Amino acid sequence: MITDDEFEGLFHEAGGDFAVPARGPDEILAAAAPPVRDGSVVPGRFRPRQLALAGTSAAAVVALTVALLTSSGGSPAPLAASAPRHGIANTSTASTSGTNNYAYKAMASPFPPGAKKAASQAANAAARDIIATGTLKLGLSRARLRGDVARLEALAASFGGYVSAADIVETGSRPGGTIVVKVPAGSFSSFISKAEKIARVRSLTTSDTDVTGEVVDLGAQLTALDDERSQLEVLLGRAGKISELLSVENEIESVQSQIQQIQGEQRTIATQVDYSALTVDLLVPKAPHVSSSPNGFGHALHEAVSSFVNGVKALVAHLGDVVFGVLSFVVVALILFGLWRSIWPWVRRRIA
Amino acid sequence: MRSWYAPAYRTACLVLNDASGAEEAVQEAFLRMWRFRDAMPEGEAARPWLYRVVVNSCYSWARKQWSTDGRRAPSDSLARLAEASPGPDEIVVIGDRASAVRAALARLPEALRVPVVLRYYSGLSEKEIAVAIHRRPGTVKSRLHEARRLLSADAALSEFAAPEEGTR
């Protein structure tokens, strides 16, 4: 058994075997000092976590710049929001009535010649995160409303999608509604092609939003916050005072909240990227007006009374001037008659 | 601070068995000491507090290494270092007692290695070690006993034991 003295000797021998870096304390004191001294930056070999944070931030900025240049620069964006897709230009958005409703039918193929090339470019840009959405307006009869909704649901299910929201009105003067279908992004075009065959297409709009830069930015933020949380957790164990403990705990709670928020945003974006949303507006033509008045004798009596009242109203309206004239004439006649009755005895005496 | 650097650095070297890691851990530890200098106890209590910061920095460095390697932290933190160290036979042949001690320490579980280094290199008492590693004195005592037993049984170190066995 080795004694304590022997252990101490062996350990001091082992520890003394390590050469102490001469620059160590000086560099620590320099790192503890303010970062700028006499206008020059203190050499930053220390604080590897801070260097890692700075490196991560710089990488995120570079990645964002590259993503922005790629999406809006000279190179064509394969799925840019303004690019027409499925053969339907964005200008068809507002055409829900009139002759424009049928302009869509003039197009022989839903895919223009350049669409396949764009799809190929999209396949090449597999690393990009794109959110695809669309709005499809279908015109259908009231009788087919329920059946077409069921067909859309079945079609979505066949593509591995689902109906995320539905607002259908089958009765009343304005039947119709809207359903939102979400299908896997890879099947979005195929789904639209099949959905167009269910009913008459009034209009179709699609848009693609490139969120690659946002995804990269969120990832960089998450990495930096994870690192910060780790550092704070270490500090938490070193806190010597209650006030320091509470301060570090509050800071950790804040960082944790930010991490959860970013993770939530990442999940939302991932869902939107994985599943494309198509809003299908189901438009049913307005039904013709049907009178609700009763038939038979009641109807005849009702019409007679209405006609009499209307006739009286018309008579009063049109004879108003005549009545006024007659009344004026009567008043003038009465005045003249009164005058004649008062003057006639005097005239009679003069004649006599 | 300068007088504390050498013992802190060598303690970290023995705990981590990695000179560059020890340098980085001690730098981080001293920065933490500077940041929390207001919390530093006065007098004799400062010594275990300082070693506590150093040991915790060593733990942080070791965790960072595991995450950098993309692996989960093993229960025995320095098992892989022990595997990379020379074997007892080779060390005895070389006759390097310091290397033999470092290799034997690397084979110890982390929970035993830290108190034994603090006890026999840094010279802390069991009570001070308890403060430094945030454990009860009874736990420290049992861990020291177990560490001594394992080190005495280590083939590399048994060569350096005195012919007459002393006990404590």
Which B residues in the span 109-168 are in contact with A, Cβ-Cβ below 8 Å?
Answer: 116-117, 120-121, 123, 134, 148, 151-152, 157-158, 160-162, 165-168
Share of chain A above pLDDT 90, in %: 10
Q: What is the pLDDT of residues A198-214, one digit of tens each?
A: 888 888 888 888 888 88
Chain B positions touching A18 (Cβ under 8 A) are: 9-10, 13, 19, 22
Structure confidence at residue A276 (pLDDT):
92
> A269 near A215, Cβ under 8 Å?
yes
- pTM given for the model: 0.37
> CA-CA distance, A293 to A285, in Å (whole number)?
24
Q: How many CB atoms lie within 10 A of CB A221?
A: 19
The rounded mean pLDDT for chain A is 74
Which range, of A288-292, B9-13, B62-66, averages the lowest pLDDT? A288-292
Share of chain B above pLDDT 90, in %: 12
Residue A333 pLDDT > 90? yes
Report which of residues B109 and B42 the model is more confident about. B109
Confidence of residue A119 (pLDDT cuts 50, 70, 90): very low
A33: which DSSP letter? S
Q: Do B14 and A11 touch (CB under 8 A)?
A: yes
CB burial readout A77-93, b (16+ within 10 A) else e: bbbbbebbbbbbebebe
Query: B153 to chain A nearest CA, in Å?
Result: 8
Nearest-Cα residue of chain A relative to residue B29: A28
Collapsed DSSP state (helix, strand, coil) of residue A298: helix
Q: Do B14 and A32 touch (CB under 8 A)?
A: no
- Is B95 near chain A, with CB under 8 Å? no
Structure confidence at residue A328 (pLDDT):
92
Structure confidence at residue A14 (pLDDT):
82
Chain A positions touching B11 (Cβ under 8 A) are: 15
Which domains does chain B carry?
2-158 (1.20.140.160)
Report which of residues A294 and A172 the model is more confident about. A172
Structure confidence at residue A279 (pLDDT):
92
Q: What is the pLDDT of residues A212-241, one digit of tens each?
A: 888 888 888 888 888 888 888 888 887 777
Collapsed DSSP state (helix, strand, coil) of residue A261: helix
Structure confidence at residue A62 (pLDDT):
62
